Structure 1
């Protein structure tokens, strides 16, 4: 229970979120020799990584949104429009993100989370290995965490 000296606030507040994130990073870096070793390197900052596929008319056919940090690529979203599936666009998006993360940013590994109704088999075919399974997240669905070493 929170004492009367404090007030719980539940509204969305981006400034407080950013402050909390910054302070958590400072605490984690101070406590971790690995994170301390990153200070002052390109790996210290979280850097966005986006890859887009446009169709002949310039419309979005697919895309990958992720970021790199601590020598890792984290794939947040990968999507291909249903009209363009099955022709290798998902594989091309992922390969380009991995290439950019490995070459330009020095990443040595990649990670992604996906649900059982999405694409765990796709990632396995791309060389990813399942390292975590959370059943019933959300209820009735299984979440997978997969990783790949970028050689």
Structure 2
């Protein structure tokens, strides 16, 4: 939340099989580039590793979203689905935690 109490970002995910699955990471446009997304992701990874025993993390994103951001956070592309949706690509990325 910002100083006015407005929600400016969040992360939703779950753990299963010693993996963190990041379902959604969102940061408001007017605060992007300030490191909030990286902090949210790092906090989720730390929590998953330390409190849930997770060894890896995975997520999906599209070419029109944030694959470069996730690569900067240490994720590697392990799968690409072309034309999903039509004219775009979906990426699955993973990262070893710890």
TM-score by length of 2: 0.98
Superposed CA RMSD: 0.5
More helix by share: 1
Q: What number of residue pairs does the alignment pair up? A: 98
In structure 2, stretches of 5+ residues that fail to align are none
Equivalent residue for 1:56?
3
Task: Select the structure of larger CA radius of gyration.
Answer: 1
Residue pairs, 1:82-93, within 5 angstroms = 82-93=29-40
Per chain length, whose mean CA-contact separation is higher, i.e. which structure has more relative contact order (CA < 8 Å, sep 6+)? 2
From 73, 77, 80, the counterpart of 2:27: 80
Residue pairs, 1:2-151, within 5 angstroms = 54-151=1-98
Question: 2: CA distance between counterparts of 1:109 and 1:57?
Answer: 36
Cα deviation, 1:68-101, whole Å, max 9, x if unaligned, reads 1110000000010001101000000000000100
In structure 1, stretches of 5+ residues that fail to align are 1-53
TM-score by length of 1: 0.64
Measure how far apart 1:57 and its partner are. Answer: 1.4
Question: 2: CA distance between counterparts of 1:149 and 1:66?
Answer: 16
